[in-house]
């Protein structure tokens, strides 16, 4: 490896080597006149320089000064590239203003029993569903059915507010927006690949793996919620 | 690009340049003097057609980018502006959107050609792999391009496809957020897709360069699948194949023009002329026709992660193919059994394409209800997709590996010239003069 460098480097490297020639190892090469007629025109002649390289250089002894420079330069270059790679990757992550997560307030009195309103929150649809007594009952009845993502209905609404179901309206399969009231369980049906959700938003049939997600929200008053 | 060169610089300038940048020599060696098997048929013209397609997409794309605005509030309107107000904007956009379809049509023919004539076998494995890389880059480029007009299908297609990545355990969701630049497909997503959609065709162009380099080392395969033995077997690329390719390109462009001028929206989905609305998903989400087979495979598998793995696996099969096919005989002309399975394979990919465009619960035979297997009626699109998916994978993983060891191929000709010359003796006059007709 090192031998070949000598072969092709010619005068340029020797300039560098001249600076290093306090190190006795280099003296032999370094002393060669920089523009000797032999070196000037022909790489073949330069290869005689290789022969001049002391043999013990190629052995695996302790790192000498040149090894040190090689290693330090490589480490610095790799470190710099690595250090730059992260900003170049991370720039694609959500920006500060996107992260300054917006919250929305919503007036529940706008939603009739048995209806749902969809609003946009953080770029996604949010389902606000005013459930009828029958829908709540059927959700509770299925608490111990064979559920893919087992949860009781109580875990999916605020205590004492069973009529209000607030969910992120993206199918947990591949993110389509399920349609209200459809499917075999009367909750939602996702048209994209046929996922059925019940009236608690739990996945019952189809390819989706999880229940519709419940966002963070609080009741500000009986008729007002703040989501986020 | 390799081997012996017959280029002789004539003018003083050519001589001067040749010792400084031998670019004329490169062009001469690869496009004029390049020795090409003399039996190439029209299936071999699709490489040239593909190069033209890439050129058209780049030129029309750069023009569109002069008028397009990558912002969620303006993208849809800017495309309408291109269609209605920009001089000849309609033409450029229809060339670009139909050009993508033509590009895929050509690449599929090109790939089936390679599958049939065994062009992926030694010594052309790297050539084949580079082709697979180009195909993957094309898929990503077209997917991102389709998002740009920001219609309903653009938006919800982007949602569904980016959510696929979320299926990867542990790191999936973080990657999806990173890709979106937010918590949903939104303005940051549209902007980066535009940036990458602009970049990737140039990456494709780079890989095409490598692809041609890898072609010019072993030279073309040919319909007989046997190696070139002597100069007798070849003709110079120019004028023989420049003319043949040129004719094929012209016919192809005629068909392309027929779409652009007479039915520019035939291959697209009308729903994409509705502006994106994140709150309502269209009743029936489908990708563009050229991605339907993969979509069918995705939906054939009931589990989210497995669906994604199978879809990725379908492309991975192409990459592994050179090492899966155990037969030493390249061309399926001499492999009657393999030929049969190959034609079934072609039909199966078309069935998958058909299934990808249907709703999973649609019936194949209208009105017939059979029995339920794995929560779906056997007479449904989803079951047809499952059977077709099974054949797709079996073709690569079982049929080709086993067949190569068990089948008895027909005798191959000694050389490319042999069948032509031996036939001409007892064939009618003139038959030998047009050997390319043997397809
Ligand atoms: C491999 C080559 C390419 C393919 C397969 C491709 C594919 C596509 C597709 C499918 C669309 C959507 C068309 C529609 O329905 O409206 C599109 C749109 C677009 N592409 Fe490309 N494209 C390619 C190259 C380029 C290049 C090189 C540029 C820019 C330099 C570009 C710029 C655009 C722009 C601005 C749009 C949005 C306008 C529109 O939707 O018509 N494309 N591309
Ligand atoms: S996205 Fe809802 S079922 Fe696939």
Long-range contact list for B361-370, CB < 8 A, 24+ apart?
A: B361/A194
Q: What's the pLDDT score for residue B371?
A: 79
Q: What's the pLDDT score for residue B374?
A: 73
Q: Which two tokens stand for residue A38?
A: 């032999």
Instruction: Pick the ligand that lies closest to the CA of residue A179.
Output: 2
Q: What's the pLDDT score for residue A31?
A: 45
Mean pLDDT of A153-172: 94
Q: Look at residue A167 and tell me whether its pLDDT is greater than 50.
A: yes
Residue with the larger pLDDT of the pair B78 and A2: B78
Long-range contact list for B69-73, CB < 8 A, 24+ apart?
A: B70/B148, B70/B190, B70/B191, B70/B193, B70/B194, B71/B187, B71/B190, B71/B191, B72/B150, B72/B186, B72/B187, B72/B190, B72/B276
Q: From CA B278, how far away is CA B185, in angstroms rounded?
A: 9
Closest C-alpha among A192, A49, A99 to residue B285: A192
Nearest to A123 among B278, B280, B360 (CB): B278
Q: State how far residue A132 is from chain B, nearest Cα, in angstroms.
A: 23
Q: State whether residue B177 sits within 8 Å of chain A by CB.
A: yes
A91 pLDDT tier (thresholds 50, 70, 90): very high
From the CB of residue A133, how many other CB atoms can be counted at a distance below 10 Å?
11
pLDDT tens digits for range B88-124: 999 999 999 999 999 999 999 999 999 999 999 999 9
Q: What's the pLDDT score for residue B394?
A: 98
B420 pLDDT tier (thresholds 50, 70, 90): low
Q: What's the pLDDT score for residue B8?
A: 93
CB A114 within 8 A of CB B175: no
Q: Look at residue B247 and tell me whether its pLDDT is greater than 50.
A: yes
Q: Whose CA is nearest to atom 1 of ligand 2?
A: A174
List alpha helices for B42-88, DSSP H: 46-67, 75-84
CB B53 within 8 A of CB B208: no
Residue with the larger pLDDT of the pair A77 and A97: A77
CB B410 within 8 A of CB B331: no
Average pLDDT value for chain B? 92
A124-130 and A116-121 as β-strands: parallel, antiparallel, unpaired? antiparallel
Angle CA(A152)–CA(A153)–CA(A154) in degrees, nearest 5? 90
Q: What's the pLDDT score for residue B418?
A: 83
Q: What's the pLDDT score for residue A3?
A: 43
Residue with the larger pLDDT of the pair B167 and B331: B331
Helix, coil or strand: residue B400: helix
Q: Do A174 and B304 touch (CB under 8 A)?
A: yes
Q: What's the pLDDT score for residue A78?
A: 96
Q: What's the pLDDT score for residue B40?
A: 96
Q: From CA A174, how far away is CA B160, in angstroms rounded?
A: 5
B3 pLDDT tier (thresholds 50, 70, 90): low
A58 forms beta bridges with none
CB B343 within 8 A of CB B116: no
Q: Quote the ipTM score.
A: 0.78
Q: Which two tokens stand for residue A49?
A: 């320089």
Q: From CA A69, how far away is CA A74, in angstroms rounded?
A: 8
Kindly give the distance from the C-alpha atom of residue B110 to the centroid of ligand 2, in angstroms, as a whole number: 34
List alpha helices for A53-126, DSSP H: 65-90, 96-99
Q: Do B278 and A124 touch (CB under 8 A)?
A: yes
Q: What's the pLDDT score for residue B436?
A: 42
Percent of chain B with pLDDT over 70: 95
Q: Look at residue B249 and tell me whether its pLDDT is greater than 90.
A: yes
Q: Do A192 and B281 touch (CB under 8 A)?
A: yes
Q: State how far residue A94 is from chain B, nearest Cα, in angstroms.
A: 4
pLDDT tens digits for range B72-84: 999 999 999 999 9
Q: Is A173 a catalytic residue?
A: no
pTM: 0.84
Q: Find which of A24-33, A75-84, B165-174 is predicted with most confidence, using mean pLDDT.
A: A75-84
Mean pLDDT of A122-134: 93
Q: What's the pLDDT score for residue A123?
A: 85
Kindly give the distance from the C-alpha atom of residue A25 to the centroid of ligand 2, in angstroms, as a whole number: 71
Q: What's the pLDDT score for residue B362?
A: 83
Q: State how far residue A92 is from chain B, nearest Cα, in angstroms.
A: 5
Q: From CA B169, how far away is CA B418, in angstroms rounded?
A: 57
CB A187 within 8 A of CB A128: no
pLDDT tens digits for range B194-238: 999 999 999 999 999 999 999 999 999 999 999 999 999 999 999
Q: What's the pLDDT score for residue B234?
A: 94
Kindly list the protein residues whose Cβ atom lies closer than 6 A to any atom of ligand 1. Answer: B 54, 57-58, 61-62, 64-65, 68, 79, 93, 96-97, 100, 103, 138, 141-142, 145-146, 148-149, 197-198, 201, 204, 268
Find, in chain B, the residue whose alpha carbon is nearest to that of A89. Answer: B178
Q: Whose CA is nearest to atom 4 of ligand 2?
A: A193
Catalytic residue among A130, A144, A193, A196: A193
Kindly list the protein residues whose Cβ atom lies closer than 6 A to any atom of ligand 2. Answer: A 171, 173-176, 190, 192-195, 206-208
Q: Which two tokens stand for residue B233?
A: 């077997």
Looking up tokens 């875990």 gives: A155
Q: Look at residue B373 and tell me whether its pLDDT is greater than 90.
A: no
pLDDT tens digits for range B252-295: 999 999 999 999 999 999 999 999 999 999 988 899 999 999 99
CB B5 within 8 A of CB B27: no
Residue with the larger pLDDT of the pair A211 and B421: A211
CB B39 within 8 A of CB B222: yes
């Amino acid at each position: 490896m090192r031998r070949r460098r000598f072969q092709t480097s010619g005068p340029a490297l020797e300039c560098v080597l001249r600076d290093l020639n306090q190190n006795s190892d280099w003296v032999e090469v370094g002393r060669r006149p920089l523009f000797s007629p032999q070196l000037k025109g022909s790489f073949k002649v330069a290869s005689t320089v290789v022969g001049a390289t002391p043999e013990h250089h190629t052995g695996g002894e302790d790192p000498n000064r040149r090894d040190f420079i090689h290693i330090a330069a490589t480490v610095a270059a790799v470190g710099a590239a690595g250090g730059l790679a992260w900003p170049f990757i991370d720039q694609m992550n959500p920006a500060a203003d996107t992260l300054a997560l917006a919250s929305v307030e919503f007036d529940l009195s706008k939603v009739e029993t048995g209806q749902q309103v969809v609003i946009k929150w953080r770029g996604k649809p949010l389902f606000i569903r005013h459930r009828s007594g029958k829908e709540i009952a059927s959700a509770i009845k299925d608490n111990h059915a064979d559920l893919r993502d087992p949860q009781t209905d109580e875990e999916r609404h605020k205590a004492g507010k069973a009529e209000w179901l607030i969910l992120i309206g993206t199918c947990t399969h591949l993110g389509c927006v399920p349609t209200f009231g459809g499917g075999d369980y009367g909750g939602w049906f996702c048209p994209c690949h046929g996922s059925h959700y019940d009236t608690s938003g739990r996945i019952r049939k189809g390819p989706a793996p999880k229940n519709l997600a419940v966002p963070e929200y609080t009741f500000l008053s009986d008729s007002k919620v703040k989501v986020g | 690009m390799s081997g012996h060169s017959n280029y002789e610089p004539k003018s003083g300038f050519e001589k001067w340049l040749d010792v400084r940048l031998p670019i004329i020599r490169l062009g001469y060696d690869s496009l004029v003097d390049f020795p090409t098997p003399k039996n190439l048929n029209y299936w071999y013209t699709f490489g040239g057609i593909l190069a033209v397609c890439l050129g058209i997409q780049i030129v029309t794309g750069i023009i569109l980018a002069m008028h397009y605005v990558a912002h969620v509030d303006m993208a849809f309107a800017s495309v309408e502006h291109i269609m209605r107000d920009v001089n000849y904007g309609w033409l450029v956009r229809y060339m670009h959107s139909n050009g993508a379809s033509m590009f895929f049509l050509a690449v599929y023919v090109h790939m089936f050609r390679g599958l049939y004539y065994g062009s992926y076998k030694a010594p052309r494995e790297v050539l084949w792999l580079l082709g697979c890389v180009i195909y993957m880059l094309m898929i990503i480029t077209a997917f991102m391009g389709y998002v740009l007009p920001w219609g309903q299908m653009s938006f919800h297609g982007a949602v569904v496809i980016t959510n696929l990545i979320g299926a990867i355990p542990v790191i999936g969701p973080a990657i999806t957020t990173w890709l979106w630049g937010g918590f949903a497909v939104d303005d940051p997503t549209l902007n980066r897709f535009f940036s990458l959609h602009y970049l990737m065709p140039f990456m494709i162009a780079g890989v095409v360069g490598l692809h041609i380099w890898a072609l010019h080392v072993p030279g073309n395969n040919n319909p007989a699948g046997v190696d070139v033995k002597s100069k007798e077997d070849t003709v110079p690329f120019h004028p023989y194949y420049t003319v043949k390719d040129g004719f094929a390109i012209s016919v192809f462009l005629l068909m392309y023009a027929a779409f652009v001028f007479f039915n520019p929206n035939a291959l697209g989905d009308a729903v994409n002329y509705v502006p994106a609305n994140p709150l309502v998903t269209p009743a029936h989400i489908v990708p563009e026709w050229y991605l339907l087979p993969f979509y069918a495979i995705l939906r054939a598998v009931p589990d989210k992660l497995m669906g994604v793995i199978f879809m990725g696996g379908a492309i991975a099969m192409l990459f592994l193919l050179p090492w899966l096919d155990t037969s030493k005989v390249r061309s399926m002309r001499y492999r009657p059994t393999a030929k049969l399975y190959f034609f079934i394979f072609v039909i199966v990919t078309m069935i998958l394409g058909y299934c990808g465009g249907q709703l999973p619960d649609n019936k194949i035979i209208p009105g017939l209800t059979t029995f339920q297997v794995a929560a779906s009626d056997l007479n449904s699109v989803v079951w047809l997709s499952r059977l077709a998916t099974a054949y797709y994978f079996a073709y690569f993983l079982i049929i080709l590996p086993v067949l190569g060891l068990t089948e008895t191929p027909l005798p191959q000709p000694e050389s490319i010239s042999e069948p032509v010359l031996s036939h001409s003796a007892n064939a009618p006059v003139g038959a030998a003069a047009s050997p390319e007709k043997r397809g």
